[in-house]
Amino acid sequence: TAWVARWAAQRADGITSCSGDLAARLARLGGPAERMRVIPYGIDAEQFYPAPEAGAAIREQLGIAPDRPMLVWVSRMVYKKGLSVLLNALPAVLRQHPKLVLVLGGYGDLRDALEAQARELGIAENVLFPGPVDRASINAYWNAGDLVVVPAIHDHRGNVDGLPNIILESMSAGRPIVASRVAGIPAVIDHATHGLLVPEGDHTALAGAIIELLDRPEFAAELGRAARRRVEQELRWSHIAARFEHVYREALAHFAVRSQ
């Protein structure tokens, strides 16, 4: 509840959050800014890695020819994932790349509504819903797509993913990413260096970014390589654990002082 969060934030010797957005929410609850540290989640770079052969196998399994551009997304189908925005962006993309297919893997309450939206937009033949994807196949799915698209948004209650796992997993797999500039995503993706960022909920900008990367495959590939390098240099769990250890030592030191 809110009062518990406020009580904890005001009395904490150290506070971590995965995004500046979440840190700002904690500050509004009275959390001391001088004891807040923004630390993104880490990722297992051995579990998620470039694997083009595994990606080709997923394409074959789904019946998607190698010459068809493929966008991929896998997660829970809930409002804050922004999938309605992505479907609204697709007609403009298809006018430039009519053979494109969007693969939306996973499950959730919105699946029926999303399938209906695809039919209403006249794009159902270009949208594939393969259903739940087992954990062992996730890396292969990221490698199957030409682009990973993460159109995250705030829901009606103001909730948003602090830092979607899909971002770190696809970065580690070395995939080009188009994502919303929201919550913790800009903390790990520098625009035009590790991926392209667009305004939250803007389907026109989302379509434009997707088209740009499909039209510029060499640029897209370089974004993917840069994303993988950032994972290897900064976002492995060993790097993130060292940052948490530093925060814990700061918190212990603060506790020792105030306990005197």
The domains found in the chain, sorted by start residue, are 2-41+236-258 (no CATH), 52-235 (3.40.50.2000)
Q: What is the pLDDT of residue 1?
A: 65
Q: How far is CA 115 from CA 35, 38, 43, 54, 127, in A?
A: 46, 37, 32, 27, 8
Burial class of residue 170, CB neighbours in 10 A (0-12, 13-18, 19+): buried
pTM of this prediction? 0.93
Question: What confidence tier does 229 reach under pLDDT thresholds 50, 70, 90?
Answer: very high
Residues contacting residue 213 through CB under 8 Å, at least 6 positions apart: 146, 147, 176, 178, 196, 219, 220, 223
* Contact assessment for residue 66 and residue 56, using Cβ atoms and an 8 Å cutoff: yes
* Contact assessment for residue 93 and residue 102, using Cβ atoms and an 8 Å cutoff: no
Reduced DSSP (H G I as helix, E B as strand, rest coil) percent helix, strand, coil of the chain, to 5: 55, 15, 30
pLDDT per residue over 40-98, tens digit each?
Answer: 999 999 999 999 999 999 999 999 999 999 999 999 999 999 999 999 999 999 999 99
